[in-house]
Amino acid sequence: MSATEILEELPKLNPAELEAIYRCTVELHQGRTVEATPELLAAIDETDASFAKEGGVSVDEARRIVVSWHTK
């Protein structure tokens, strides 16, 4: 069964079945690394540049701020 076929079947499931699918998917995904595609990286760069032009903060600045919230 293809991913497209599976996705088409999901709306037909009841809430308990959907929950079981969700939990199984999370378990299978744990420990795996997701690598960003070149398209995603380009979109992130474009958004970052857009915020910088509009007076927002850069991704690097946002990371710095978030890290500063973390206390040991």
19-44 pLDDT tens trace = 999 999 888 888 777 788 899 888 88
Does one domain contain both 48 and 65? yes
Q: Within this chain, do residues 9 and 25 fall inside the same structural domain, yes or no? A: yes
Give pLDDT, residue 57: 72
Same domain, yes or no, for 22 and 46? no
Same domain, 30 and 42: no
Per-residue b/e over 15-26, b at no fewer than 16 CB within 10 Å?
eeeeeeeeeeee
- Run of H or E residues at 28: helix 15-29
Query: Based on the domain organization, do 42 and 27 belong to the same domain?
Result: no
8 A C-beta contact, residue 52 and residue 58: yes
Give the pLDDT confidence of 54-64 residue by residue, as tens digits.
Answer: 777 777 888 88
Residue 6 pLDDT level (bands cut at 50, 70, 90): very high
Token pair 């009841």 in the structure block, residue: 14
**Total number of domains constituting the chain:** 2
Q: How far apart are CA 69 and CA 72, in angstroms?
A: 10
19 and 2 in one domain? yes
Residue 44: domain span: 38-69
